[in-house]
Amino acid sequence: MSLPAVTPPDFPPPYPQGKPNLSPGQVVRVRSGAAPGHIRTPWYLRGKTGVIERICGAFGNPEELAYNRIDGPEVPLYRVRFTMREVWGDTTERAQDTIDAEIFEHWLEAV
């Protein structure tokens, strides 16, 4: 497991947070999953382990919004940082370069 250094911001997110179950600095794994539909968890990050960089806020679930179902609960959204080594293995340009992506809580598991 190759984990990135993360310095969570010292300011809160400027958007309502809802009830986040995960915290900045926490190690998380992106779930695997292959359902059809509109999913904003990129394929190249599924199954990978990273560190939460910040809580972005809580927002409507795009999987539901995609079908114009707008009344569902908002879901906490996190910026998660991954090392290039973790995502691409040995063929990466520089192991400790990183990718930050926004992942919804239901796609993350605490490690």
Half-sphere exposure of 80 (CA within 13 A, CB side): 29
Q: Is the CB of residue 53 less than 8 Å from the CB of residue 8?
A: yes
Q: Which is nearer to other proteins, 52 or 56 (CB)?
A: 56
- Closest approach of other proteins to the CB of residue 59, in Å: 5
Residue 68 corresponds to which tokens in the numbers above?
């114009």
Contact positions with other proteins (CB under 8 A) in 59-88: 59-60, 62, 65-68, 70, 77, 79, 87-88
Q: Is the CB of residue 45 less than 8 Å from the CB of residue 101?
A: yes
3 state SS of 111: coil
Task: Give me the residues that bind other proteins (CB under 8 A), please.
Answer: 9, 11, 14-15, 37-38, 40-45, 56-57, 59-60, 62, 65-68, 70, 77, 79, 87-88, 93-94, 96-104
